Amino acid sequence: MTLTVYRPEAFRRLPNAVLFDTDNTLFPYEPAHRAGMRAVREKAARLFGIAPEKFDQGFDAARDAIKQRLGRTASSHSRLLYFQRMLELLGLGSQVLLALDLEQTYWRSFLGGARLFPDLKEFLDDLRIAGISTAIVTDLTAQIQFRKIVYFRLDRYFDYIVTSEEAGLDKPAPGPFELAVAKMRPAGDCLWMIGDHAENDIAGARRTISAVTLQKVHEGVEVGTGDRQPDAVVLEFGDLRALLRELSAAGR
């Protein structure tokens, strides 16, 4: 088993509800992001002869500028805004049609390069069979996060979804967690939060809704420490299936 439990007392009963992050929790983010950026980079080179290094510099500068201007909001993650500003910084103007084309190219290639973690759907099935409510609590805009869920055919697995666009601010702000719990109305106070980010998912959920926190760890993810340390570290969703079976068999 690859489940490391730091606080055993947190796992003495079944959860009443389970909240999930999306990107880098349901699937590894980096391979999908690389596929998206590669496709956009190649299109920019083909259409305008933009060298890869110039493209990367322009994109990084545009992303940083948008994030600094908009702060921790859903629109601060907008690839459409990134590409619009990148084209402006490269001296090409806003190029509205091209910005839209690059955004669609990015997300189409992103989804094509994304793969769910093994045993995720089986774990979600286990939760549904056990009568445990589920919700997604995710940053970014609703349209693309909905699109990801539909693409992965996960829409029937989750009861609710909350995006930072709907809640007003990104995690770890209280709003997304509070809104998810308000929608779910769990029958008890044992809530699990599963996410990869030590501050946004783990510390945020613990502070706001007193959640039992499980950090999904894989390549590129560092386990939180101090007040950002999770109650358990998860490498494989199969281990959560085993934990759920153990708690169910014990009648907890």
Is 164 within 8 Å of 140 (Cβ atoms)? yes
Please, which residues have CB within 8 angstroms of residue 40's CB and are 6 or more apart in sequence?
Answer: 55, 83, 102, 105, 106, 109
Q: Which is the catalytic residue, given 21, 126, 170, 196?
A: 21
Structure tokens at 112: 């094509």
Convert 105-140 to b/e letters by CB count within 10 Å (16 or more is b).
bbbebbbebbeebebbbebbebbeeeebbbbbbbbb
Catalytic annotation, pick one of 23, 126, 170, 231: 23
Q: Active-site residue 101, yes or no?
A: no
Burial class (CB within 10 angstroms; exposed 0-12, middle 13-18, buried 19+) of 174: middle
Residue 139 annotated to the active site? no
Active site residues: 21, 23
